[in-house]
Structure 1
Amino acid sequence: MKQILAILVLLGSMSLMACAQGSKKQTMKTASEAHVLVAYFSATGTTAAVAEKLAQATSGKLYAIEPVQRYTAADLDWHNKKSRSSQEMDNPSVRPAMKGKADVSGCEVVFVGYPIWWGVAPRIINTFLENHDLKGKRIIPFATSGGSGIGQSVKALKQAYPDLQWSDGRLLNRAGEEDVRRWVDSLGL
């Protein structure tokens, strides 16, 4: 009889510990529980490499923002005022068509990555932002650049989309996995 009672007490205490651990898990959200999406546009692969590291660090879903018409080297020639990228960046109302749509349902955090063109985000980032319901989601920009900082591009995005919940962005040129992980940790993810 004492053995049965001891077993019942042991089972009861194990059940209580399991419930307590379950409660802790519900109150502390990890990046994967926060349902992270890492959406990025990359014309040459540089931003894509950083986005992959970010998706790994956050356990987030990776989504490539792809234009319907891919950019060629000639399209990206910023020295040529008639190149496709120069013409797009000269006209703030241009919205390049993009392939598909990301599933943002259930996402609480959306990283938006891009190369910096003419000091700001490429126009296809506007296409992405305008074609997805991002209200109530934390939007965190990240960028790569050959010479510009990220500040002006984030300022322009915040001005264009003031109803979105923006966090400060970060320039991630040549960022290693450890650099990305430290940044993600500093964001509370």
Structure 2
Amino acid sequence: MKKLWTCFLICLFFGLLFSCSKDNQNESENPNQINQKIAVVYFSATKTTENIAIQIADITKGRLMQILPAIPYSADDLNYTNDDCRANVEQNDENARPEIANNIEINDCSIMFIGYPIWWGKLPKIIYTFFDTYDLADKTIIPFCTSGGSAISTSVNEIKELEPFAFVKEGKRFSSSSSQSEIKNWIAQLNVKINEKVGME
């Protein structure tokens, strides 16, 4: 009887061990598992930046979070031929800080992809609001932008001034026609730990 009981306990032990090992393996192989240390935060008024952000989140398995303006931008707001349109007025006002409607959960993130369109060669002022609201000290910031031709460099310098205690990478400009392979190749070349699937260390 004692031997049977001992055999039962041994079988139970190895059964539990195998079950835990299988669960851990399934978790590590889950392609939809979110990497809580990576955030893909973006503002997009016309969906162009959003399309790039979605692909970055898909490749990195990062958390996708949109910056939503309290007052959405209409087509008239973005009519740059009108000097009095909302976007022009904001961009020409050094103190403009458009209100953000939602809370962005970034406390657990150490790597942050931050995306935005280029407005008059610079950051949209709602991105200023984001940096004023959240403490990004000691986080790695990887900017990405969309534009018809304007470079990203000026906006990256703005971010460095707004977040002097963060590690700000040089970033990347994309167009509306940028392919997923272009995005994936860029991520693979970044000197930060993302995940094994894109060749990071």
TM-score range, shorter chain: 0.7 to 0.9
Structure 2 residue aligned with 1:43: 45
- The whole-number CA distance in structure 2 between the counterparts of 1:32 and 1:183 is 20
Note the alpha carbon deviations across 1:140-165, whole angstroms, 9 max, x for none.
10000012111111112212332222
- The whole-number CA distance in structure 2 between the counterparts of 1:164 and 1:55 is 21
Note the alpha carbon deviations across 1:67-103, whole angstroms, 9 max, x for none.
0000011100111111000000001211000111111
Structure 1 residue aligned with 2:169: 167
Structure 2 residue aligned with 1:88: 90
Note the alpha carbon deviations across 1:21-49, whole angstroms, 9 max, x for none.
x9xx9xxxxx9657110000000000000
| Contact 1:34-1:109 within 8 A present in 2 as well | no
Q: Name the SS of the counterpart of 2:119 in structure 1.
A: coil
Note the alpha carbon deviations across 1:40-71, whole angstroms, 9 max, x for none.
00000000000000000110011110100000
Structure 1 residue aligned with 2:128: 126
Q: How does 1:89-168 map to 2 (within 5 A)?
A: 89-168=91-170
| Contact 1:40-1:63 within 8 A present in 2 as well | yes
Amino acid at match of 1:42: S
Q: 180, 183, 200: which one pairs with 1:177?
A: 180
TM-score, normalised by the number of residues in structure 1: 0.81
Identity of aligned residues (%): 35
User: For the aligned residues, what is the CA RMSD?
Assistant: 2.4
| Contact 1:104-1:133 within 8 A present in 2 as well | no
Q: How does 1:52-91 map to 2 (within 5 A)?
A: 52-91=54-93
| Contact 2:36-2:63 within 8 A present in 1 as well | no
| Contact 1:53-1:177 within 8 A present in 2 as well | yes
In the TM superposition, structure 1's runs of 4+ consecutive aligned residues that sit over 2 Å from their partners are 31-34
**Count of equivalent residues:** 168
Distance 1:169 1:129, change over 3 A: same
Amino acid at match of 2:120: W
- The whole-number CA distance in structure 2 between the counterparts of 1:77 and 1:155 is 26
- The whole-number CA distance in structure 2 between the counterparts of 1:118 and 1:96 is 17
- The whole-number CA distance in structure 2 between the counterparts of 1:131 and 1:73 is 27
- The whole-number CA distance in structure 1 between the counterparts of 2:166 and 2:138 is 7
Structure 2 residue aligned with 1:3: none
Which fold has the larger relative contact order, with Cα–Cα distance below 8 Å and residues 6 or more apart in sequence? 1
Q: Which stretch of the first structure deviates more once superposed, 111-120 or 162-171?
A: 162-171
